[in-house]
Amino acid sequence: MYNAYTENAPFLARQNAFNSRLQEKYLQGALAEGRKLVFDSIKEPVLWVRDGKDLMIVVKMLRTDDFIKVDFLSSLTAYDNKDKVDGPKRFVMVYNFYSTTTNVRIRVKLAVDLDQAVPTLTNEWAAANWLEREVWDLFGIPFAGHPNLRRIMMDERFTGHPLRKEYPIKQREPFADNIPFHLGAQPLPKSEK
């Protein structure tokens, strides 16, 4: 069923074995509460987790699991669940993990409400720093424990979160000057806002 991949490639055996292992190990007993395993259009696994704490538990399990040995953060993003097709909460955080040694992919999803904080992954991967800043900028999902949560794509004085569904695409907010760049985690002082 993997149209993008050549049939009988060696990594597919590992990936398929991992898909069945997910069912046994990650959805066992007490761990299964609030979690769900679905498969996407090309039969790759998508694991829904319960909340932020559960996310950190799953990440630790994936990193230490000898079968998959996740060591790579492929991507960290989110999407707006305004029509509530994927549950009752507003946003869904999506994490794509990859293992360079076993070549297995897994996607982890976490549903969050408006203004609900998500624990940061910067302690696990330094790559998550800018990716979480981007999600904060474009969606408004705050990250608890992030060292430097400021806007990255838009100007720091910009109001609104563009990638939310209610933000009109042509609503511009230009600024006549370039604010001074400041190092470190400090937000803008009140006088410059």
Partner 1 sequence: MENKQPLADFYNPNVLINLGPAHPAMHGTLRVMCRINGEVIEDASCEIGYLHRAIEKLGEEKTYHQWMVYTDRLNYCSALINNIAYAMTVENVMNIKITDRCLWVRMIMMELSRIIDHLVCLAANILDAGAMTCFWLLFRWREEAYTMIESACGMRLTTTYARIGGMSYDIPDDFIPRLFKFCEEFPKAIDEVDALLSGNRIWIDRTRGVGKLSREDALNYSVTGVVARASGVDIDLRRDRPYMAYDQVDFDVVVGSNGDTFDRYLCRMEEMRQSVRILKQCIDKIPGGPIWVDDRRVQIPEKIDVYTKMEVLIHHFKIFMEGIDVPAGETFTCVEGANGELGFYLVSRGGPKAWRMHVKSPSLMQFQAYEKMIKGDKIADAVATLGSVNIIAGELDR
Partner 2 sequence: MSKDGSAFAYPMVLAEAAKWARKNSLWPMPFGTSCCGIEMMAVLGSHYDLSRFGAEVVRFSPRQADLLLVAGTITTKMAPVLRTIYDQMLEPKWVIAMGACSSSGGIFDTYSVLQGIDEIMPVDVYVPGCPPIPEGVIHAVLHLQKIIDGSIDRNTAEKPTHEDAINAMNYRKALTHDISANWRVTQEGIVPGRRE
Q: Is 73 in the site for partner 1 (CB under 8 A)?
A: yes
Binding mask 109-148 for partner 1 (x = CB under 8 A): ----------------xxx-xxx------x----------
**Alpha-carbon separation of residue 54 from 1, 108, 144 (angstroms):** 31, 11, 14
Q: In the set 103, 119, 140, 142, which binds partner 1 (CB under 8 A)?
A: 103
> How is residue 63 written in tokens?
């990193």
Q: Is 16 in the site for partner 1 (CB under 8 A)?
A: no
The Cα diameter of the chain in Å comes to: 62
Closest CA to 134 of 150, 110, 116, 158: 150
For partner 1, the closer CB: 31 or 162: 162
Q: In the set 17, 144, 153, 188, which binds partner 1 (CB under 8 A)?
A: 153
Q: Is 183 in the site for partner 1 (CB under 8 A)?
A: yes
Q: Are 59 and 32 in contact (CB under 8 A)?
A: no
> How is residue 44 written in tokens?
């790759």
For partner 1, the closer CB: 33 or 83: 83
Q: Is 67 in the site for partner 1 (CB under 8 A)?
A: no
The Cα 185–Cα 76 span in angstroms is 21
**Alpha-carbon separation of residue 143 from 3, 79, 123, 139, 177 (angstroms):** 36, 15, 12, 12, 29
Q: Are 85 and 107 in contact (CB under 8 A)?
A: no
Q: Are 116 and 83 in contact (CB under 8 A)?
A: no
Tell me the closest approach of the beta carbon of residue 27 to partner 1, in angstroms: 20
Tell me the closest approach of the beta carbon of residue 28 to partner 1, in angstroms: 26
The C-alpha angle with vertex 148 and arms to 142 and 150, in degrees rounded to 5, equals 65
Point out which residues bind partner 2 (CB under 8 A): 153-155, 162, 167-178
Q: In the set 184, 190, 191, 193, which binds partner 1 (CB under 8 A)?
A: 184
Interacting residue ranges for partner 1, rule: CB under 8 A: 1, 3-6, 9, 11, 40-42, 44, 46, 71-75, 77, 79-80, 83, 85, 94, 96, 100, 103, 105, 107, 125-127, 129-131, 138, 151-155, 162-163, 165, 167, 169, 181-186
